[in-house]
A and B are shown apart, each in its own frame.
Chain A
Amino acid sequence: MVILTTELIIVFFYMLIVLGIGVYFYDRREGDDFWRAGGQISTLVNSIALFAALASGGAFLGALGVAYSLGAPFIWSLAAGGTFGVLIGSILIGKPLREVGAYTITDIFDVIYKDKRINTLAPIIVVIGFTIYVIAQLVAAGIVTEFLLPINYELAVVVAGLVFLAYVALGGMWAITVTDFFQGGLMGILGIIVAIFSVLHFGGSISTPITETPRIVDMAPVPTTSYLGFFLIWLAVSPVIPHVLMRVFSSESANSARRSLAWLAFLFGTYTIISFYIVAAAAISINPDLAQPDFALIIVMENVLPVAVTGILAAAILAAVMSTTDALLLAISASVSNDIYKLVINPDASEKKVVRIGTATIVIAGVIAIVVAALDPPDLLVALFTDAMGFMGSALAFPLILGVWWRRTTKNGALAGMIIGATSYVILWPFVPMFTAIIVSLPLSLIATGGVSLIDTPPSQDELHRRHTNFKHQ
């Protein structure tokens, strides 16, 4: 009971701190500050905040659960796809997009295509994909908090959800960057500590798990195409995922945006290689028959870490969930207020009104996600948010990347790529093995974007001039 009290106190103070950060940045609610922190975030801070945003509660818990039950090679499909995708983002997306001074991915589509249909469809895709992603994060928060603290699952979801809903609504990008910086640091330190103790659990050897817990290196009982699909989903979505792009927009310069993404690729890749292997192997060694694989990390920490660290563990896991969810909520909010309301419905709206609508959107989306996560929690965390990302990547990757770099891309081509990418993923999803819909939907999106662009009237000189100058192409 003493331990539980200590855990509660640590988590309570942690939540007070993040709320305090939201209140501190309450006066920075003008558009440029609220959406992209005035474009002043340094490479160091942004790299760690990006890591915290990408290494979600799902990655922290659910992915370790997948490694525990299906082996490291399967979950490394996510690690490799995410790392390569972020590298592509660093090479092709970071610098040109930071040059524009945009707030959202739809702003970028508007620079490229200036098409009302695309400006409406893109945020709708983002809102659908991210709402599912937020639900998955809240479920992760609920099951971990329920396990660690003497409160039930529903209450855990509501408390955690309300806290980060409040600080995002209050402080916008400044608040989530500062909190994510600390959360990223906390998660990184915790990850290193757990990995070290896991290695010590195997007598200081990193090769022992191969013989002692061979399940960790085995191929999973899923089709080989599921490995490829898992890889492709994260490869496609990582360069265009809106809550990462919004951090690109907040970088202090174009070069800083590129370097932040390069650091993110390295940190995320290294962290996932180590953590998904050695920690999951330790969990198998301690208890090979966990009924709930998502608790693999908790089991390891309970068995290999000093007891006093469990309170910090609770805060760190909540940090992993919060740092992703806050960024997701801000991206959903921007999609509705900045993209649909400001760009499509009321272009003359004042910045204050747009921010007010954004704040209301955060509250509405957050409450919907809390209710769904509390009352009807989905079973498979990783599968849930990975499929949401597959849907988003299929729809957005080629229309965005080709629009930035291929001169011949037209608005009709991009629209066709979005529609065919999204619909084919949704249609195929129930009928094909896990994660494999993207093997068809992504090439279809490419063919649609490229094919329709080629038979369409080429972009005008004005359109090419706009892309050339805004993205500062050489």
Chain B
Amino acid sequence: MASEDQSGQYPSTADRSQDRSLTQEGDEEYPVTGFFPLDKWSKILLALIAIFSLGIFAPVFLDRGLTIIGAPWLFYAYPISIIILSGSWLILTYTVVE
């Protein structure tokens, strides 16, 4: 198995990647808890995925026979959620998300 070099880089893939220079980062002190930072829009979309997933399934588990406009709840909940979430994220990747 490949071993780590002194800079802390991963040698077996690092040479394939771009811009591996560490400069002064090797002296940084990293917190050992919490998450690495994520941008605001990504967090919002992750939250929306969780909310929409809950919104799809909670009504069905409460009442499997639930219908709207003559069709089961899932018949409308799935496509609406898919289009809203995937369309929104696609637009965000070309506008505000770096």
Contacts and interface: CB of A to CB of B under 8 A. Distances in A.
Interface residues of B, number: 60
B96 interface: no
Nearest to A81: B53
A316 B13 CA distance: 37
Given A224-B60, A266-B87, A407-B31, A73 B75 contact: yes
Contacts of A259: 90, 93-94
Contacts of B10: 100, 110-111, 114, 466, 470
A471 B30 contact: no
B70 A210 contact: yes
Given A73-B75, A473-B36, A107 B13 contact: yes
A159 interface: no
B96 to A, nearest CB: 13
Contacts of A273: 78-79, 82-83
Given A464-B30, A474-B37, A102 B53 contact: no
B94 A405 contact: no
Contacts of B85: 83-84, 87, 265
B43 to A, nearest CB: 9
A258 B75 CA distance: 29
B87 A76 contact: no
A84 B77 CA distance: 13
A110 B2 contact: yes
Nearest to B18: A101
Interface of A: 32, 39, 72-73, 76-77, 79-80, 83-84, 87-88, 90-92, 99-103, 107, 110-111, 114, 116, 119, 210, 217-219, 224, 227-228, 231, 235, 255, 258-259, 262-263, 265-266, 269-270, 273, 342-344, 347, 404-408, 458-459, 461-462, 464-471, 473-474
Interface of B: 1-2, 4, 8-10, 12-18, 20, 22, 25-26, 28-39, 42, 45-46, 49, 52-53, 56-57, 60-61, 64-65, 70-72, 74-75, 78-79, 81-83, 85-87, 89-90, 93-94, 97-98
In the A-B complex, list the 4 residue pairs whose CB atoms are closest, starting with the nearest: A101-B17, A101-B16, A73-B74, A464-B30
Given A258-B97, A407-B33, A465-B30, 13 more contacts: A73-B78, A91-B89, A92-B42, A100-B17, A231-B57, A262-B93, A266-B86, A342-B12, A404-B36, A407-B30, A466-B4, A466-B9, A470-B9
